[in-house]
Chain A
C-alpha cells in the first residue's frame, strides 16, 4: 500500500488524509499542536451561512477518526522533508511515497500596525479575538459595559505595502460583514461601521449577505482606511479616517475597534524553499506549478500542497483543494 505523509493537521491535512484513505492510500498526519483542526478550531461561525465552525470540524474529525489507514502524530514537527522520507522532531523517520505540505498560514500580528493601538489601548481587538469572544458568548468592554458603537477595519495587514503585505487575504471582507451582522444581532441598538478600501464579495451568497447587512441590519459602510487611533478622555477610541466617497476627513469616537487581520505566509516557507528547492511567491506563500492544471503540485516531484500554504483561501476552497490533492496523488502514483 502506498503511503503519504501530510505535514499539518488543519482542515486541509485532515480532509486530504480522509480522501486518500477512501482511495486506498494510507497517510500519516503530522501536527505540531496537540490537537487537529488548526485555525478553524478557534473560529465561531462561518460565512456566509453562519454555520458553526464546530459543525464542519466535528464532521471532518468524525470522518478522520473512522477512516482506515490514517495515523496521526500530534505535538511533533518535521525536521527533514524529502518526497520519500520525513524525519520528525522525535527522531523517527517515516518512509513514504509522497509528501503533502498543508502547513497553512500565520495570522497578521496587528501590533505591527502600531497606529491602530492593538495591545496599547483597551477595546482594540482582532477579528480572531472577536471569534473567541463569540465562542465565550460574551462581548463586553474593559469597563464591563456593552459597546454602543463599534468599528470594523478591513485590510489590516493585507494590501498594505507599508507592512510588506501586498496581497489580498480574500476572506476578511466577508468575515467583516459576517461579524458586523453578528454584532448587530447581539447589540441591535449599537452602531456598527465597516471601514473598507473595496468590498470583495466574490463567492456564492456573499453579495447577498453584504446587502442584507445594509438593508436588514443597518450596518454602515465607510470607504476609507483608518489612519490612526487615539484614546479619548472618557476611555473611548477616536478614529481618524478619510471618507473617500465624500472626499472629506472624518473623526469618530467608538467603544470598540475590530481589526480584520489578514493572512500572512508562514515564516518557515522561505526556509522550506531554500532547503528543498521549492519556490515561494512574492507574497511569501508557496508557488504551485501553475494556477490551473497543476495548482496543487510543487515544482519538486513528489511534494504536493494543500490549503492556505499557497494562498489565502476560504474554508470551502481549502476543503475542495484537499480533495483535489488526494486525486492528483493517486493519479501521480499510478504513473510512477
Chain B
C-alpha cells in the first residue's frame, strides 16, 4: 500500500466516524465501562519503579474508558496507538519507546480507526491489561494497555 492509499482510506474512515457520533454507545458493554484517569494509574512513582494502583489492578480484564490525547501512530498500519495525558511533542518514529513518559496507555484497536488531531481530547474504551508487554511487530514495550478498543473525540 502506498502512502496516498493510506490517506484515502483514512479520510473514508473519518467521514464514516463523522456519521456515527454514537460509536461508543453502539458497543453492548459500553454502559458497564468503568472510567479511569491518568492520575489513577499508579499508586507510587519512584526511582526504583512504579506501582500500579489498586484501581488498575481491580479493573484489569474489565472494560474501562480513559480520556487523553492520541499521539500520532507509530506506523500507518500499526495495530495500536499511544494515549497520553497531554498532547505529545515527541516524534514517535524518530525516537524509541524509551523516550515516552511513564504514564502512557497503549491502545490496541478492535478495528482500524482514523487519526484524531493531537490537540483534541479523545475517550478510548477497551479491556484493561497491565504488566510489561512487548509488541511483537514493533518491539514497543508497554505497561498498560486497552485491548479490543475503540475511541471517539469528546
A and B bind: no
List residues of B whose CB falls within 8 A of some A CB: none
List residues of A whose CB falls within 8 A of some B CB: none
